A and B are shown apart, each in its own frame.
Chain A
Amino acid sequence: MQPLDSLFRPQSVAVIGASKKREKLGNVILRNVLQSGYGGAVYPVNPRETEIEGLKTFPSVSEIGKPVELAVVVVPAERVLDVARDCGGAGVEHLIVISAGFKETGPEGLLREKELAELCRGYGMRLVGPNCVGLIDTHTPLNASFAAGFPLKGEIAFVSQSGAMLVAILDWSLTIGLGFSRCISMGNKADLDEADFFTAAVADPNTKVILCYIEDVKDGGHFLAAAEEATRHKPVIILKSGTSRAGAQAASSHTGALAGSDVAYDAAFKQTGIIRVKTMSELFDLAVVFARQPVPRGPRVAIVTNSGGPGIVATDNVEARGLEVARFTRETIEALRQELPLEASVFNPVDVMGDARVERFRFALDRVLADEGVDSAVVLLCHTAVAEPVETAAAIAEVKEKYAEKPVLAVYMGGESLAAGVELLAEKGIPCFSFPEVAVEALSGLVAYGSIKERPPKEELPAYRDVDPGVVRRILTRVREERRRTLLGSEAAQVAAAYGIPAAPILLARRAAEAVTFAAELGYPVVLKVASPEIVHKTDIGGVQIGLKTPEEIREAFWGIMERVNQHLPRAVVYGIEVQRMYPKGTELIVGMTRDVQFGPLIAFGLGGVYVDLLKDVAFRLTWGMGEREIREMIHETKAFTLIRGYRGEKPLDVPALANIIGRVGRLVTDFPEIVELDINPVFLYQEGAAALDVKITIE
């Protein structure tokens, strides 16, 4: 059986809190169920009524006396728990709680919601909501929501955290003829969440593409696993809001959960093959393209246009979006040249000229699609005096039929005069846009999915045999015993070294004489740094002195640092002074980790040094699935890689040594979940080897 089958295709539905009053939700939902053409049994439940909308009404679910697979609950929040208990006792399989008055209202509501989820778990009932609009399946058909109107049958599943957005989109979809397979309003996600609905949509034969609007993810691990699996079968397109600072604040207030960082979401989406869009229009542009056109084999796009300007705009966008402007074979070029007017451009973009009627469009499109070097086509039509928008629409659809595996998108630039053509395109399943860049953007999503679907299997974080967890455990235990949250530089270097990260050794001196002894051990010249868990920016307060070459210099620097630190931060607890040998300068890089509240360890890699904040040249990956390939890709993504592989005649640097550091950091923070922040800044990368100069670790 398919997951959540009886939620979307129940044999029977009870509407609890059904009402006679037509303006009440309890009545709207009942009528929606009935009017959707639902074929199963429908039971209104209301202890004060005997008949609603012509149906026999029951005082409670347990008194229906027949099995109920799905119960839609629309009673006041205080009564929901009793109702749920009654449903559980009566063997109901799925509950949709429409009622508000839960987590979104404060501590009392939160408690109620937890109790509700607990109760459902106890009875083995799955729960949608609470505080939601409900759900719709157009193929069952079933409208178990209070959305006005019933959407057209289609192949798009829409999963939304916002009920209002769902309702608005459904209404809008009717005006443009967009159809849906399923629509789900998740509400507070007390039980079922986006991950569950992805899995269900993958199993649903009527769904071709999965759209999702979310403000947060409920369970990072569950989400990653479900998304990774889903995108191998069907495209998943997500609009995740709260990317700006103010937006994140609004989202936090809205969901009551700390939003994971947006870069973590980005990494999660990227690593699981989710296509992320930033706007609502993009979400639906992509949905239309995915629902109606095939996924192309590659990125090579042919453009056929009747006007030069828009053709160039489209070409620019093809390149900007990472697609390729197809290069035609000699045969294609010859054929086009023979058939088209002399002044027409027969290279890509193909300009059939402003005086083109339908036949030139038909010929050119057919010819370029036949070319082996073309994976998809965009047809641009500008409204000219002789243009034949309707006939051209028919011709595009006709030609498209011949090339099942190659998507074709149309751009009709103009207004009222093109409306009939646009309508015909929609009818024939050719996505049509008003401007070239929007079409190319949508096409790029389609192309991207081609490689997402075919991507190699998920990797695992590399395992290293030479790591020594015992050392790390001992150090972390001591830090905890001393009630510290941050490791001293000497401790962090030891932890890193225990995991095979080439950390430059640091020794902690409590007296100047000790520092001199250590310097002799490590070798001159040395650097001295103040050791205090409270001091993060040591240089700013004169807590670092470099290039010390003699015992005298060390002694002077030792007390100099102590006095300066005491001046600036008289209350800081100073553990002593760290002694480290000076390393030859290498290319300065950063490797870091922050434990994201949703998705776990998030690794950052980028260019270090003084311009790090200016250049923002950083790539991110979750350690989830971060194997050798992901690490390599992560390095390649950055501008730093240009330097690393040998910039302007320089010899290339030791990339395997760098990948090794990244992988080992991933392993370390996975083996020790108490490490919540880790920063190596800088990592010096050399032609041979690397050195981690300053390691910072925060534990929980």
Chain B
Amino acid sequence: MGDLYITGTAGSGKTAIALGIALFLQEQGVRVGYFKPVGTPPGAIRAEDRDATLMREVLKLGAEVQEIAPLALGGYYISSYKDPQRCRQLVREAYAKIKATAETVLIDGAAQPWAMATFGLDTLSLSKEFGSVVVYVVRPANDRSLDEVSFFTRCARESGVQFAGVVFNNVPRVLLAKTEGIYREVLAGLGIETLGIIPSRTELSAPTVAEFYEALGGDILAGEDKFGNIVEDVLVGAMTIESALAYFRRSANKAVITGGDRAEIALAALETDTSVLILTGGLYPDVKVIARAAEKGVPLILVYYDTYTAIERLAEVSRVIRPGDMRAIALARESVVEHCNLEKLAALARA
């Protein structure tokens, strides 16, 4: 059987799609493996590749996390791994081991298709080596998103890689009609098949407070049981009290970042639909703010750096599906089953 190589840029939702396909194939009685040659480096709080951990648990895979994701793409990976040869060997061995027990392997791409190209471990090099079929996942924002797809396809074809098509994932409601009507047609004109158009589901795409906390660290002052709250927007509370309420009201499920000494801003945020309140500057807030947050069931996180730094740290936060999050796992499966050409994908995997 052939393998599917799911690639795309960071935050496009590769893992959710791989998960959905894997669950579908398992239901069909296919023995599915999961492999992520280039994983993400451990953060301050988590130690192992999150996607590998998730897939291992959900798909009940025998392999160790270290085998599922043998390498990590750090900012200093060339210096720390040093030997490209050995890295390639490591990946090859790990892949062989997973392939040995599976009928088909879903290979999950790194943060970008070109990641570790310097070591010859990018999507194109590896899919060629494994003989896998590439599926490109893109989260469309505007017309420029098509360039990403067209360019990658051309590279893949010229490298002699098998390219199956593109999945539009997490498509905003306002872009659905355009994707269906125009983008699909434009790509078809270039000989690129659209394998799925998955509408955005906030419950699946928006990060939760847990991801925010992983990125921020700090002290949890209230609402630890509400870390599953999704965060759709980040607002900074630096306005006057008169304008705060109207400003906060315009946004749902939001994170509000403000100074620990701005009690009235914090209280205004708590009066509206707030998923998490992040207090900066290490200024321990008034106890009444904590009491109000506890009363409203809103997580309250105190960080020891300034507001700007907090925002910087949040820039890269994206949703992670956690092993215990049955609702998100079911949603991932549902999204793929309902909106992707699964017969085609399954046929490719079985080819």
* A248 & B288 in contact (Cβ 8 Å cutoff): no
Decide yes or no whether A573 CB sits under 8 A from chain B. yes
Given contact pairs A106-B290, A106-B291, A485 touches B252 in the complex (Cβ within 8 A): yes
Q: Which residues of B contact A536 (CB under 8 A)?
A: 250
* B287 & A594 in contact (Cβ 8 Å cutoff): no
Decide yes or no whether B142 CB sits under 8 A from chain A. yes
Q: Which residues of A contact B288 (CB under 8 A)?
A: 103-104, 106, 252-253, 255-257
Say which residue of B202, B249, B290, B292 sits within 8 Å of A485 (CB atoms).
Answer: B249
Task: Provide the bound-state CA to CA distance between A261 and B289, in Å.
Answer: 18
Chain A, range 675-698, C-beta contacts under 8 Å to B: 676-677, 698
* B264 & A259 in contact (Cβ 8 Å cutoff): yes
Decide yes or no whether B317 CB sits under 8 A from chain A. no
CB distance from A122 to the nearest CB of B (A): 21
Say which residue of B222, B250, B264 sits within 8 Å of A486 (CB atoms).
Answer: B250
Decide yes or no whether A456 CB sits under 8 A from chain B. no
Q: Of all chain A residues, which has the CB nearest B203?
A: A483
Decide yes or no whether A647 CB sits under 8 A from chain B. no
Q: Of all chain B residues, which has the CB nearest A677?
A: B246
* A573 & B267 in contact (Cβ 8 Å cutoff): no
Task: Provide the bound-state CA to CA distance between A574 and B172, in Å.
Answer: 10
Q: Which residues of B contact A485 (CB under 8 A)?
A: 249-252, 273
* B286 & A597 in contact (Cβ 8 Å cutoff): no
Given contact pairs A245-B240, A482-B173, A573-B174, A256 touches B291 in the complex (Cβ within 8 A): yes
Decide yes or no whether B117 CB sits under 8 A from chain A. no
CB distance from B343 to the nearest CB of A (A): 31
Given contact pairs A249-B263, A259-B264, A677 touches B249 in the complex (Cβ within 8 A): yes
CB distance from B273 to the nearest CB of A (A): 7
Task: Provide the bound-state CA to CA distance between A700 and B286, in Å.
Answer: 27
- Of the four ranges (under 10, 10 to 19, 20 to 34, 35 or more), the interface on chain A belongs to 35 or more
Decide yes or no whether A309 CB sits under 8 A from chain B. no
Q: Of all chain A residues, which has the CB nearest B244?
A: A258
Given contact pairs A109-B291, A258-B270, A698-B250, A245 touches B241 in the complex (Cβ within 8 A): yes
Q: Of all chain B residues, which has the CB nearest A676?
A: B249
* B262 & A483 in contact (Cβ 8 Å cutoff): no
- Digit string of A535-559 for contact with B (CB within 8 Å is 1, else 0)? 0100000000000000000000000
Chain B, range 277-312, C-beta contacts under 8 Å to A: 286-292, 294-295
CB distance from A492 to the nearest CB of B (A): 13
Q: Of all chain B residues, which has the CB nearest A484?
A: B252
Task: Provide the bound-state CA to CA distance between A109 and B286, in Å.
Answer: 13
Q: Of all chain A residues, which has the CB nearest B142?
A: A566
* A249 & B264 in contact (Cβ 8 Å cutoff): yes
Say which residue of A258, A486, A700 sits within 8 Å of B268 (CB atoms).
Answer: A258
Q: Which residues of B contact A110 (CB under 8 A)?
A: 291, 294-295
Decide yes or no whether B115 CB sits under 8 A from chain A. no
Task: Provide the bound-state CA to CA distance between A486 and B263, in Å.
Answer: 26
- Digit string of A120-131 for contact with B (CB within 8 Å is 1, else 0)? 000000000000
* A105 & B287 in contact (Cβ 8 Å cutoff): yes
Interface on chain B toward A: helix, strand, loop, or mixed SS? Answer: helix
Q: Which residues of B contact A252 (CB under 8 A)?
A: 263-264, 267, 288
Decide yes or no whether B156 CB sits under 8 A from chain A. no
CB distance from B319 to the nearest CB of A (A): 15
- Digit string of A235-279 for contact with B (CB within 8 Å is 1, else 0)? 000000000010011001101111101000000000000000000
Q: Which residues of A contact B173 (CB under 8 A)?
A: 482, 573
Q: Which residues of B contact A533 (CB under 8 A)?
A: 250
Q: Which residues of A contact B272 (CB under 8 A)?
A: 700
Q: Which residues of A contact B270 (CB under 8 A)?
A: 258
Say which residue of A257, A570, A576 sits within 8 Å of B267 (CB atoms).
Answer: A257
Q: Which residues of A contact B222 (CB under 8 A)?
A: 107
Q: Which residues of A contact B273 (CB under 8 A)?
A: 485, 700
Q: Which residues of B contact A583 (CB under 8 A)?
A: none
Decide yes or no whether B325 CB sits under 8 A from chain A. no
Q: Which residues of A contact B342 (CB under 8 A)?
A: none
Chain A, range 556-601, C-beta contacts under 8 Å to B: 566, 570-571, 573-576, 594, 597
Q: Of all chain A residues, which has the CB nearest B272?
A: A700
Decide yes or no whether A473 CB sits under 8 A from chain B. no
- Digit string of B226-260 for contact with A (CB within 8 Å is 1, else 0)? 00000010000000111001100111100000000
Q: Of all chain B residues, which has the CB nearest A109?
A: B291
CB distance from A156 to the nearest CB of B (A): 31
Say which residue of B246, B263, B286 sits within 8 Å of A698 (CB atoms).
Answer: B246
Q: Of all chain A residues, which has the CB nearest B251?
A: A485
CB distance from A688 to the nearest CB of B (A): 33
- Digit string of B166-178 for contact with A (CB within 8 Å is 1, else 0)? 0000001110010
Given contact pairs A249-B264, A700-B273, A106 touches B287 in the complex (Cβ within 8 A): yes
Chain A, range 317-344, C-beta contacts under 8 Å to B: none
CB distance from A543 to the nearest CB of B (A): 15
Decide yes or no whether A22 CB sits under 8 A from chain B. no
Task: Provide the bound-state CA to CA distance between A700 and B251, in Å.
Answer: 9
Decide yes or no whether A510 CB sits under 8 A from chain B. yes
* A483 & B291 in contact (Cβ 8 Å cutoff): no
Q: Of all chain B residues, which has the CB nearest A108?
A: B291
Q: Which residues of B contact A261 (CB under 8 A)?
A: 241-242, 245
Decide yes or no whether B188 CB sits under 8 A from chain A. no
| Chain A CB within 10 A, most for which of B177, B273, B292 | B292
Q: Which residues of B contact A676 (CB under 8 A)?
A: 249
- Please give me the 9 A-B residue pairs with the lowest Cβ-Cβ distance, nearest first: A256-B288, A106-B287, A258-B267, A107-B294, A252-B264, A110-B291, A253-B263, A107-B291, A253-B286
27 contacts between A and B (CB under 8 A): A103-B288, A105-B287, A106-B288, A107-B291, A109-B287, A109-B291, A245-B241, A249-B241, A249-B263, A253-B263, A255-B288, A256-B286, A256-B287, A256-B292, A258-B267, A259-B241, A261-B241, A483-B232, A485-B249, A485-B252, A536-B250, A573-B172, A573-B174, A576-B174, A594-B245, A677-B250, A698-B250
Question: Other than the known A253-B263, A256-B291, what 13 A-B pairs have Cβ atoms closer than 8 Å?
Answer: A106-B288, A107-B222, A248-B264, A249-B263, A252-B264, A252-B267, A258-B268, A259-B264, A483-B202, A485-B251, A677-B250, A698-B246, A698-B249
